Amino acid sequence: MSKAPTPSVPAPPGARPASLRIGDVARLLGTTPRTIRYYEEIGLLPEAPARRSGGHRIYAEAEVERIKEVMRLKDLLGVSLDELKTLLTAEDARAEVRAQLRRDDVRPARRRELLEEALGHIDHQLELVRHRASELAKLEDELSETRKRVRRKIRGLDAAREGSFPPSEEMTPL
């Protein structure tokens, strides 16, 4: 007789449980367990977290938040998974720097080195975001120009109904 899957830890109404199985996380975030596993495989997420005796992945709140952030950045920036990994690696490095800076025994010279390191990570992230913004601006310009051409064609068609159609407008591609 096979053992039934262990249900997720029950939570009070309106609250999330302290830990969730992969299927629960996927449903909560509007994705699939396969996507979460794939993100783990390619290094966007840390290796599979704790597992229950049945081998099910169990995610704590911090891990769920990390998955949520990965998905938010991917959607917001429209970046490739490699670019996203670069962004997240820099973010993780900054988190490590922040942890070191919180220590009381860090000398001022080392503190400055850490801040310079954090600045380098931020600059790298900004470079990626600015590149994406530049690409989006180019697309916006292209679409705006196409929109203008389409509007001219509409005006040309309206003018043709009145008998004064400019032939050059008729042949212009969208």
pLDDT tens for 45-65 read 887 667 776 777 889 898 999
pTM greater than 0.75 (yes/no): no
- Cα separation, 95 vs 64, whole angstroms: 17
Q: 163 — alpha (psi -120 to 50), left (phi > 0) or beta?
A: left
Right CATH number for 16-76 from 1.10.1660.10, 1.20.1250.20, 1.10.645.10, 2.40.40.20?
1.10.1660.10
Mean pLDDT of 7-22: 61
The two structure tokens encoding residue 42: 């390619």
Using 50, 70 and 90 to split pLDDT, how confident is the model at 163?
confident
Rg (CA), the chain: 26
Q: Which pLDDT score is estimated for 46?
A: 82
At 52, the amino acid letter reads R
For the record, the structure tokens of 44 come out as 């966007």
User: What residues contact 63, with CB distance under 8 A and at least 6 apart?
Assistant: 25, 45, 46, 49
